[in-house]
Amino acid sequence: MARRLLLVHAHPDDESISTGATMAHYAALGDQVTLVTCTLGEEGEIYVPELAKLAAADADQLGGYRIAELRAACAALGVGDVRFLGGAGRYRDSGMMGLATNDNPRSFWSADVDEAAAYLVEVMRETRPQVMITYDENGFYGHPDHIQAHRVAMRAAELARAEGVGPEKIYWMALPCSVLEAGLHAFADTVGNPFEGVESADDFPFGTPDDEIAARIDATDLHDAKVAALKAHATQIPDSSWLYALAGDFGSEFMGVEYYTLAAGERGPGDGPNGWETDLFAGIAVAEPAPAEAGSR
Ligand SMILES: [Zn+2]
């Protein structure tokens, strides 16, 4: 395929929650979308009572179960190329920052960055993505596996670019401060307000000034696909989740629009609000398969 997107995520469900609309958008356009997930999410909480004993402290079978949830979620997004870094089970979920699970020798947090990056470089050699999406230095909100995913993805991109197979543009997922503020106001009077007690957007560990945002991907037409993907992660996201309530109350924009900062590469022309790019491939010369088009760029 001419346009190739690679996403690097920490746990099953991160892809759907933070980039599901973008994945569905590019898959629907017929572009190549490759997801690399770094752990199986073994340390997640379980919201399905009859599956509760799969937990790490009991049968420790959650990770394997979540492989199937991830595949179902990606199928809902139209994405079939789903991989685990180094193969499924290579790296274990590290749990929240400061927990003893961080120190498990199999934890992703304990992984050697260069060794882990080498697995990702292999994927890049094969798929040759022009665009990569991952997290910022703080892993968006500070989870050790998200921070490590950032480090590994950035290191792999550096190595792959030196070989000429790395991404031309790297995006980090982000939430503009204006959207966060608007959300705070909009949700203030709702039942089950997830931001209850939060007084201002400054209280969040995330939120990016609008002028640092580079791209806004509008996939409101595919918001049902994102909801279906979230539902596929049933052990992690209960049916009663505020996510679904808000999706119902605030409609397709809440689910269907995602934002990014540009961490590497040149910003392309933007025709969105604030001059934001509306296409992550903007400015990238993509070889068109149609011969009639050859040389027109
Ligand atoms: Zn995660």
How confident is the model over 105-127, as pLDDT tens digits? 999 999 999 999 999 999 999 99
Please give the pLDDT value at position 293: 47
Q: In this structure, are residues 178 and 24 in contact, taking their beta carbons and an 8 Å threshold?
A: no
Is 143 annotated as contributing to ligand binding?
no
For residue 85, report the distance from its CA to the centre of ligand 1, in Å: 14
User: 47, exposed or middle or buried, with CB in 10 Å at 0-12, 13-18, 19+?
Assistant: middle
> What's the CA dihedral at 128, 24, 184, 245 to 10 degrees?
-150
For residue 248, report the distance from its CA to the centre of ligand 1, in Å: 24
For residue 223, report the distance from its CA to the centre of ligand 1, in Å: 21
Mean pLDDT of the chain: 92
For residue 15, report the distance from its CA to the centre of ligand 1, in Å: 9
Tell me what the mean pLDDT of segment 139-157 comes to: 96
CA 14 – CA 147 distance, rounded (Å) = 13
Whole-prediction pTM value? 0.93
Domain boundaries, the chain: 4-175+211-284
Q: Find, among 161, 167, 91, the residue nearest to 129 by Cα.
A: 167
Fold annotation for 4-175+211-284: Rossmann fold (3.40.50)
Could you write out the DSSP letters of every residue in 27-40? Answer: HHTT-EEEEEE---
Phi, psi for 5 (deg, rounded to 5): -115, 135
Is 14 annotated as contributing to ligand binding?
yes
Total Cβ atoms within 10 A of residue 271 = 10
Is 223 annotated as contributing to ligand binding?
no
Please give the pLDDT value at position 297: 44
For residue 10, report the distance from its CA to the centre of ligand 1, in Å: 5
Q: In this structure, are residues 54 and 27 in contact, taking their beta carbons and an 8 Å threshold?
A: no
pLDDT digits (tens, 9 = 90+) for 214-252: 999 999 999 999 999 999 999 999 888 877 877 776 767
For residue 36, report the distance from its CA to the centre of ligand 1, in Å: 13
